[in-house]
Amino acid sequence: MSAPSQKDLANALRALAMDSVQKANSGHPGMPMGMADIAEVLWNQFLHHNPNNPHWVNRDRFVLSNGHGSMLLYALLHLTGYDLSLEDLKNFRQLHSKTPGHPEFGITPGVDTTTGPLGQGIANAVGMAIAEKALAARFNTEEFKLIDHYTYVFCGDGCLMEGISHEACSLAGTLELGKVILFYDDNGISIDGPVQGWFTENIPERFKAYGWNVIPEIDGHDPSSIAAAIAKAKQSSKPSILCCKTQIAFGSPNKANTAESHGSPLGEAEILLTKKALGIDYPAFEIPLDISAAWNKKSLGKKWEEEWNQQFETYQHKYPEKARQLQSYLSESLPENWKDLISEIANRWIMEEPVCATRKASQLVLNALLPHLPFLFGGSADLTGSNNTNWSNAKIFSKDNPLGDYLHYGVREFGMAAIMNGIALHGGLIPFGGTFLVFSDYARNAIRMSALMKQRVIYVMTHDSIGLGEDGPTHQPIEHLASLRLIPNLDLWRPAGPIETLIAWEQAIERREGPSVLALSRQNLAFDVLDKALLEKIRLGGYVLKAHNKARANIIGTGSELELAIKASEALDSIGIAVNVISIPCVSRFLRQNSAYRNSVLDPKLFSVVVEAGVSTGWFAFGNVKAVVGLDHFGESAPAKAIYQALGITSEAIVNQVKNLLGESV
């Protein structure tokens, strides 16, 4: 019997995709069938990975940006030998299966990032390639190429229509990320039909303009043209795009080239016809042994990783210090004296009482901590001087300086966020990046993806309220605090002074299981915590700042409005009304504490009044909140103090609410 042909190997992918989608009666067979030949060449001839260890640090990364074609990836992972069985494929799209509707990081071994929201996978890949380049520059030597892998990405028309592909690919061109190799599935079809009606730009010219290495007009069903193009792309010092002409649902006599095949099962009858046309003569989910043997990469993968391990051992002998550092980067472990560092800064600040904006305090934290955390990788979307995301020894990462640790992302908030996801997913670096809080909307879906993928990405979002003043309502976030708090597994910190800012940074850095947003003020704040005993309480997300044993109400404040809460409490005190003042810098963290702690902070017998310069929505679900001194409409353009006064975010307003609720005359 002759060895299976490349067509046979690609057809196994098609068969598994057709059958799994049919069995689930849901899914997307068209793309896997259209990209099967490309995937076969890439995974059988080029991809370096180890199915026995999906976490091998120097594996080539593979990103399926057109994530609706998830069955292509699952079939590849199954056939090459990952821990993904035929049973798992039969459970495609079923509850708690390892084969969810779209590829999900952390659920399926071998899935390097979660995709489905089109376009973001490309940006994730750009982030992975940035991480690869940065780590290679720090650790490789002439003789040892420990970090040396490609990042391969599949994308479709949809990904390239999405604006984020422009953001990410433009930056990738400037940074000359030659290890990115993007396969464009140029099938001329998206959900609404043939794309000529809505997508006609010249993709090769567009990518040439970005400075990419463009390989146009590849026949995406011809293995030798595909292989030649990949070999050429690997030689380029620029990122490469391989424009592959394909047929969606290739092989299906009646559904190929139709939008219908994009997202619906082909149907039993059409599957029979397709299998006949392709020469697939085996039953559903029964891949012949010679085909599965030809696909299997377990022994090759083992060999590749073992070779790498040997290389690492020799490196370790020759450069013990560098090897130790690389290990500490890869484990992202914090220095042993980490908590002492935090305490030292806190002690100093409690003595010095710096009065500043929290964005400034954030920079002071960076200056103090960054020398001890070389694996932090900073940046800003063109607002470095406003976000204060740089520190005194920050070095700019660029095509000529891959040793840099600070990236100018340019005005690309969404791109930055999705690139940071890629950096975090790659491993070895912890990314943080800044923009104005109001533009978190631009980045929002990528922030959501950081949370879904449980990635340690730190968003530094300054100018966090009307307190930014004169730039006016276009720049004043109103609904953003509440709306970011709605994202599960995202910790939003809104510190009220330098010490809370320090703890917010500490917690964001320590938090391995998800992203954090630091919402920071532009304006100077008068408040700071001056009691060291409170550090531990801040870490819990909410705490009693000022307690009164005869308290009749709680005043809750966050960030820049905490000082108004304190002022109001003093005014109330002076007229014989005792209140507690509660600071809740991180609502989600506070809500994760047990009820005993929460009740010890927010006495359930008392009502609460909240002050926060943002929409009131959200707070009413909280404890006994009876009133919110907030803003349920857009802001104004004026100096900050005037806006607070004009919009009624004042200590008097808080006092009046408390008196009202106590039934006392105002």
Contact range with ligand TPP by CB under 6 A, out of 5-13, 143-151, 189-197, 320-328 = 189-197
Is 187 a binding residue for Mg ion by CB under 5 A? The answer is yes
Instruction: Select 189 or 266, whichever has its Cβ closest to Mg ion.
Output: 189
Please state the closest distance from residue 329 (CB atom) to ligand TPP, in A: 33
Q: Where are the alpha helices (DSSP H) in 48-148?
A: 70-80, 86-90, 120-139
Selection from ligand TPP, Mg ion, none that 30 binds (CB < 5 to 8 A by kind) is ligand TPP
Kindly report the backbone phi and psi dihedral angles of residue 620, in degrees, each rounded to the nearest multiple of 5, phi listed first.
-70, -15
Hey, which residues does 185 pair with through a beta bridge?
Answer: 244
**Judged by CB under 6 A, does residue 449 bind ligand TPP?**
no
**Residues touching Mg ion, count (CB under 5 A):** 5
Q: Does 189 bind ligand TPP (CB under 6 A)?
A: yes
- Report the alpha-carbon distance of residue 541 to residue 517 in Å, rounded: 13
Binding characters for ligand TPP, 47-66, by CB under 6 A (x = yes): -------------------x
User: Which pairing describes strands 189-190 and 193-194: parallel, antiparallel, or unpaired?
Assistant: antiparallel
Nearer to ligand TPP, 363 or 450 (CB): 450
> Which one, 56 or 62, has the nearer CB to ligand TPP?
62
3-state secondary structure of 379: strand
| Count of residues engaged in binding ligand TPP, rule: CB under 6 A | 19
By beta-carbon proximity to ligand TPP, the closer residue of 162 and 491 is: 162
Least Cβ distance, residue 17 to Mg ion (angstroms)? 16
Q: Does 162 bind Mg ion (CB under 5 A)?
A: no
The piece of 113-121, 505-513, 546-554, 627-635 that touches ligand TPP (CB under 6 A) is 113-121
Q: Is 116 in the site for ligand TPP (CB under 6 A)?
A: yes
State yes or no: residue 101 binds ligand TPP (CB under 6 A). no
3 state DSSP class of 152 = strand
* Residues 6 or more apart in contact with residue 570 via CB below 8 angstroms: none
Q: Which residue is nearest to ligand TPP (CB)?
A: 156
Residue 241: how many CB atoms within 10 A of its CB?
A: 27
Please return the burial class of 450, using the count of CB atoms within 10 Å of its CB with bins 0-12, 13-18 and 19+.
buried
262 lies in the binding site for ligand TPP (CB under 6 A): yes
DSSP annotation string for 2-48: PPPPHHHHHHHHHHHHHHHHHHHT-S--HHHHHHHHHHHHIIIII--
Closest CB to ligand TPP among residues 158, 173:
158
Q: Quote the least distance from Cβ 263 to Mg ion, whole Å.
A: 11
Give the footprint of ligand TPP on residues 149-188 (CB under 6 A): 156-159, 162, 185, 187
Residue 157 binds Mg ion (CB under 5 A) = yes
The token pair at 485 is 């708090």
Q: What span, in angstroms and rounded, lies between the C-alpha atoms of 317 and 314? A: 5
Of 545, 616, 623, 565, nearest to 591 (Cα)? 623
Least distance in angstroms from the C-beta of 614 to ligand TPP = 27
By CB under 6 A, tell whether 117 contacts ligand TPP: yes
Among 88, 150, 89, 162, smallest CA distance to 121 is for: 162
Q: Is there binding between residue 243 and Mg ion (CB under 5 A)?
A: no
In the region spanning residues 222 to 251, those forming contacts with ligand TPP, defined by CB under 6 A, are 248
Q: Which stretch, 77-85, 180-188, 238-246, 544-552, contacts Mg ion (CB under 5 A)?
A: 180-188
Instruction: Quote the CA–CA distance of 442 and 475 in Å, as a whole number.
Output: 13
Nearest-approach distance from CB 611 to ligand TPP, in angstroms? 37
Pairwise CA distance, residues 262 & 624, whole Å? 50
Residue 413 known to be catalytic: yes
* CB closer to ligand TPP out of 50 and 120: 120
Helix axes 70-80, 30-41, angle to 10 degrees: 40
**Sequence-ordered list of residues with C-beta below 8 angstroms from that of 330, at least 6 positions apart, any chain:** 57, 427, 428
Please tell me whether residue 119 binds Mg ion under the rule CB under 5 A.
no
* Nearest approach, Cβ of residue 124 and Mg ion (Å): 20
The answer to whether 191 contacts ligand TPP (rule: CB under 6 A) is yes
Q: Which does 653 bind (CB under 5 to 8 A by kind): Mg ion, ligand TPP, none?
A: none
Q: Which does 422 bind (CB under 5 to 8 A by kind): ligand TPP, Mg ion, none?
A: none
Q: Which span (187-195, 413-421, 564-572, 637-645) binds Mg ion, by CB under 5 A?
A: 187-195
- Smallest gap from Cβ 110 to ligand TPP, in A, equals 21
Residue 506 in contact with Mg ion, rule: CB under 5 A: no
Q: Identify the DSSP state of 491.
A: E
Q: Residue 20: left (phi > 0), alpha (psi -120 to 50), or beta?
A: alpha
Is 189 a binding residue for Mg ion by CB under 5 A? The answer is yes
Dihedral (C-alpha) 501, 503, 508, 510: value to the nearest 10 degrees?
Answer: 160
Tell me which of 4, 27, 29, 30 binds ligand TPP, using CB under 6 A.
30
Find the catalytic residue in 104, 132, 176, 413: 413
| Partner residues linked to 580 by β-bridges | 554
Secondary structure letter of residue 54 according to DSSP: T
Is 271 a binder of Mg ion (CB under 5 A)? Answer: no
Q: Tell me how far CA of residue 579 lies from CA of 489, 550, 575, 604, in angstroms.
A: 32, 8, 11, 14
CA-only gyration radius of the chain, Å: 28
DSSP structure string for 388-436: T---TT--B--SS-TT-SEEE--S-HHHHHHHHHHHHHHSS-EEEEEEE
Distance (Å, whole) CA 92 – CA 77: 13
Residue 66 contact among ligand TPP, Mg ion, none, beta carbon within 5 to 8 Å by kind:
ligand TPP
Q: How far is the CB of 73 from ligand TPP (least distance, A)?
A: 13
> Rule CB under 6 A: which residues touch ligand TPP?
30-31, 66, 68, 116-118, 156-159, 162, 185, 187, 189-191, 248, 262
Give catalytic residue positions.
Answer: 413
Contact residues for Mg ion, defined by CB under 5 A: 156-157, 187, 189-190
